[in-house]
Amino acid sequence: MARVAADIERELDRLLSPTDTVPPRLLEAMRYACLEAGKRFRPILVHAGAALGHVDRASITRVGAAIELVHCYSLVHDDLPAMDDAELRRGKPSVHRQFGEATAILAGDALNALAMEVLARADWPAAAPLRLELVVGLGRAAGAAGMCGGQMLDLESSSERLLSEEELVQLQRLKTGALIGFSLEAGARLAGLDAAALRALTVYADALGLAFQIRDDLLDLEVGETGKMAGRDAALGRKTFVTLLGAPAARARLIELRQQGWSALSRAKLETNLLGQLFDFVIDRSS
């Protein structure tokens, strides 16, 4: 995992290197949002999917970096005053606090656009049809049927109406799970896995994405652990798995989800070692 994270850091630094065509302040904000920050969890999922076949390291890094650019853009926009109005992200001032709201909006837009460009370019080994599949998949995961749609549902939820568990699951499948699921799928597509394997990985990724969000909800109760403002969801009146189920039941749900993911992999006879470690990391993490 450390090697993948280091590869992604180098690739992001390269992709965001100074150029005469990008205004310096905009580039500075983009680099601030992306570099020396985060666990690089989504690129690690790309690696895990690709590890089920034989994929060159450069291709894994290229796809992982593109997905990380989208993830970083989403955090920049999530923190904006019109969304969560967060002061901190990853233990430092959020981008709009550091550079101003207008620059933060433009930086997020530019990161999202760069991600699609990075996948579409012909300067890496993937053939054109695969590059197109990846661009379409990333656009879907990030757009109205994925991350943006989930954020809309989150904004529409209010402290006055108690979401059902089914509604909350759907919200988080879009907001958090869509990009997590695509990360694993993208690696598997690089590896050329068949339809049955992709279906099994979809079930695993769905369980993993929900587990990731439940663990985030639990961490939101713990001051200072996440590098953002603890208790932020409660302050905004957002519904979480913890407020819906209670902390003990939410922790029990993590174990159920791990079993669901493991069972899907086992039925498809997929290698479970790395993917099992990733699930353990998700439910045991402290940040």
**Dmax over Cα atoms in the chain, in whole Å?**
54
Options 1.25.60.10, 1.10.600.10, 3.90.1720.10, 1.20.1640.10; CATH for 2-284 is 1.10.600.10
pLDDT score at 225: 45
pLDDT score at 286: 82
State how far the alpha carbon of 177 is from the alpha carbons of 37, 54, 97, 120, in Å: 21, 26, 27, 23
pLDDT score at 155: 87
Secondary structure, 3-state, 131-196: HHHHHHHHHHHHCCCCHHHHHHHHHHCCCCCCCCHHHHHHHHHHHHHHHHHHHHHHHHHHCCCCHH
Contact by Cβ (8 Å): 81, 27: no
Q: How many CA atoms lie within 13 A of 211 on its CB side?
A: 27
Ranges of each domain in the chain: 2-284
pLDDT score at 54: 94
Neighbours of 107 (CB within 10 A): 27
pLDDT score at 180: 97
DSSP class of residue 88 equals: E
Kindly report the pTM of this predicted structure. 0.93
**pLDDT tens series, the chain, 287 aa:** 789 999 999 999 999 999 999 999 999 999 999 998 788 999 999 999 999 999 999 999 999 999 999 999 999 999 999 999 999 998 899 999 999 999 999 999 999 999 999 999 999 999 999 999 999 999 999 999 999 999 999 888 865 667 889 999 999 999 999 999 999 999 999 999 999 999 999 999 999 999 999 999 999 876 544 455 555 665 666 778 998 899 999 999 999 999 999 999 998 888 778 898 999 999 998 88
What does the block give as tokens for 19? 């150029």
pLDDT score at 37: 78
Round to whole Å and give the CA distance between 141 and 178.
5
pLDDT score at 159: 58
